[in-house]
Amino acid sequence: MKTQKNVARQRRSFCFVSETGQEKNPLLDPSVRYRCYHPAEMLVANGNVCTVVSARQFFNAPLLNQDVYVFHRPNMARASFRSVTEGLRRNGAIMIADYDDLIFGTEDIALVSSAVKNGTLTEEKAIAAFQSNLAGLRQFDKVTTSTDPLAARVREFNPNAQVQVVPNFIPDSILSIHKELGTSSQKRLPTSIGYFAGTRSHDKDFPIVEAALHRTLSENLDFKLLVVGPVAVPRSIASLPNVNTAPVVNFLRLPALMSMCATVIAPLETSNFNNCKSRVKFLEAALAGCRLIATPIPDMKAIGSERLTLAFNTDDWYEALSDSLDTDSQTDLAKSNFAFLEAGSKIDGLEALAGLQ
């Protein structure tokens, strides 16, 4: 009979299954990178075997011989979802659901989601999607989430589940490249500000900082703002002479582009949906050596005010934006935050649910 100690040392096979629109190349989806590829890298480094696949590909041709399955954003509406997951359960596989956004819940939660507010989904489709995702959640007794508020939501709707928080992180493969390149120590103008939005889901977030940003840029013409991505730039900002825009860039190019800025902003509208969001904007800013000014969502607060600036209101935004860091302070912050990234790669919660601890 194997002891628990021997079992914990076993090499296990993992299959990460993600509901992603990037079906042929999930690596292009930022959410899949953080929730699947990054933890998979750590698992492989510890002697395990990992596969990452889109949900469409998986349910069309299921891999049935893995020890652990991590279903990123599982959706009950996926064809053969129930039959496949029940088969895996009969085979003794460990199954874990993983979430990095509030995409499940009741009608009232669906109606305040960013997808509805930004017109990505109609109210009817959003309600149906949240119900389907909720049904998927309730098929699992093991769940990982990216933040504490999201874990609380999981416990609310699936109270019998074991829930572990596995914060997003930057893996060694990426850190080592940018440490060698010296990305975080690149020289930049202290008055350079960047807003990097990967999707138009931030259209309702930009107005949070609009007044403070307009005042800062109008009063200080030596300040520059770079807006990258498909977000709608308010007319009051777009009309200023010290504002430039650029299309979204490949994730491999993002740190180099971001390193042109001394400060990066991450405004978010106050909502239950945004309250569950993670620290990704901080991770990206720290990798590039930028100071981050952010809306104080819980996962940003958890990082600590010594590493980023939290803006609770318009006055906070204005003061932070107007007060650029001197070169020494910028250098010290960049070094400290990069060290924080190097120490922050942990998947203890996932390993515990997978029986590796």
pLDDT for 281-301, tens place per residue?
A: 999 999 999 999 999 999 999
**pLDDT of amino acid 230:** 86
Is residue 218 within 8 Å of residue 200, measured between CB atoms? no
Q: Which stretches of 209-283 are assigned E, i.e. beta strand?
A: 224-228, 243-246, 263-266
What top-level class would CATH report for the domain 172-343? Answer: alpha beta
Segment 28-46, tens digit of pLDDT: 999 999 999 999 999 999 9
Mean pLDDT of 77-104: 96
User: CA-to-CA distance for 291 and 325, rounded, in angstroms?
Assistant: 9
Distance CA 326, CA 26 (A): 40
6-25 burial by CB neighbour count: b if 16+ within 10 A, else e? eeeeeebbbbbbbbbeeeee
Whether the pLDDT of residue 4 is over 60: the answer is no
Fold match flag (4-166 vs 172-343): yes
pLDDT in tens, 154-211: 999 999 999 999 999 999 999 999 999 999 999 999 999 999 987 666 677 899 999 9
Determine the average pLDDT of the residues in 74-101: 96
Sheet harboring 192-196: ordered strands across?
A: 243-246, 224-228, 192-196, 263-266, 291-294, 309-310
* pTM confidence score: 0.93
Q: Where are the domains of the chain?
A: 4-166, 172-343
Residue 22 structure tokens? 């990037």
| Rounded mean pLDDT, 206-226 | 96
Dihedral sign (CA 323, 329, 330, 336): negative
Mean pLDDT of the chain: 93
CA dihedral of residues 118, 119, 123, 128 (deg, nearest 10): -90
Q: Give the pLDDT mean for 255-283.
A: 95
Q: Report whether pLDDT(11) > 60.
A: yes
> pLDDT band at residue 9, thresholds of 50, 70 and 90?
low
4-166 has CATH 3.40.50 classification: yes
Model confidence at 317: pLDDT above 80? yes
Q: How far apart are CA 357 and CA 9, in angstroms?
A: 8
Is residue 118 over pLDDT 50? Answer: yes
> Does residue 99 carry a pLDDT above 60?
yes
- CB 102: neighbour CB atoms within 10 A? 26
Write down the pLDDT at residue 8.
45
pLDDT of amino acid 119:
82
What one-letter code names the amino acid at 331? Answer: T
Instruction: Give me 279's structure tokens.
Output: 């620290």
More reliable by pLDDT, 7 or 205? 205
